[in-house]
Amino acid sequence: MTLKLTSGAKLVAATHNPGKAREIAALLEGRFQVIAAGELGLPEPEEIEQTFVGNAVLKARKAADASGLPALADDSGLSVRALDGQPGIYSARWAGPTKDFAIAMAKVEERLEESHSDDRSAFFTCALALAWPDGPVVAVEGRVEGSLTFPGRGERGFGYDPIFTPEGHSITFGEMDPTAKDAMSHRARAFEKLKAALFD
C-alpha cells in the first residue's frame, strides 16, 4: 500500500473545531476533497491519551475506521512554561463545556498570577495524524514559540490566539492576518512535515 495521497483524493478532516477546520482547509490548498467530520456525523471521541500525538492518532484512527476514508486529525494546545506546561493537552478542556475561551484565557492569567513567576514564555504545539482505514497511521508535530500578553488583543483566529504573540513579532495571533499566521504557526510547521512525508 502506498503512503502517498494523490491530489483530489477524498480526505476526512477529523475535527469538530471550526477554527481548526478553517486553517486545515487553507493549509491543504484545495489539494484534496476535504470532508468535515460533522458532515459525516462522526462522533467526537474522548481524548484519553497523555500526549498530543497520542490523541491525534486516536482521533484519526477512529475517523478513518468509521468513514472508510483517509482521515486527518489535529491535536494541539498551549503550553505555558511558568505553569509546568499547562494547559497543554487540556487546552480545550480549560474552556469548559461551553468552549468559552474567555474563561480559559482568564484561567491562564489567574494561574500565572498565583505562580508569582514573571516568565511569560509559552508555545503552541500541533500534532497531526493521518490514518488510512484498516491501515497505517503517520504522525508529526510542529511548534511555535512566543509569549503571553494580557489583556488579549484581536478578534481573528480562535482559542488562545488573542493572548499569544509569536517570537519575533509584536502582534498577537488574534490580530494577525490569517495568511501570516498560516506561514508560521505550529499547525503550518506540522503540515510542512506531513506534506514532505506523504503528499505527492
Which residues make up the interface to ligand ITT (CB under 6 A)?
15-17, 20, 44, 47, 59, 74-77, 91-92, 101, 124, 157-161, 173, 185, 187
- Name the residue nearer to ligand ITT (CB basis): 5 or 122: 122
DSSP string of 113-177, one letter each residue: HHHT----EEEEEEEEEEE-TTS-EEEEEEEEEEEE-SS---SSSSTTGGGEEETT-SS-TTTS-
- Work out how close the CB of 160 gets to ligand ITT at its nearest, in angstroms, rounded to a whole number: 4
- Name the residue nearer to ligand ITT (CB basis): 8 or 18: 18
SS3 sequence of 48-86? CCCCHHHHHHHHHHHHHHHHCCCEEEEEEEEEEHHHCCC
36 membership: H or E segment, kind and range = strand 33-36
- Has 177 been annotated as catalytic? no
Which is the catalytic residue, given 74, 75, 161, 177? 75
- Work out how close the CB of 136 gets to ligand ITT at its nearest, in angstroms, rounded to a whole number: 21
- Work out how close the CB of 130 gets to ligand ITT at its nearest, in angstroms, rounded to a whole number: 14
Enumerate the active-site residues.
Answer: 75
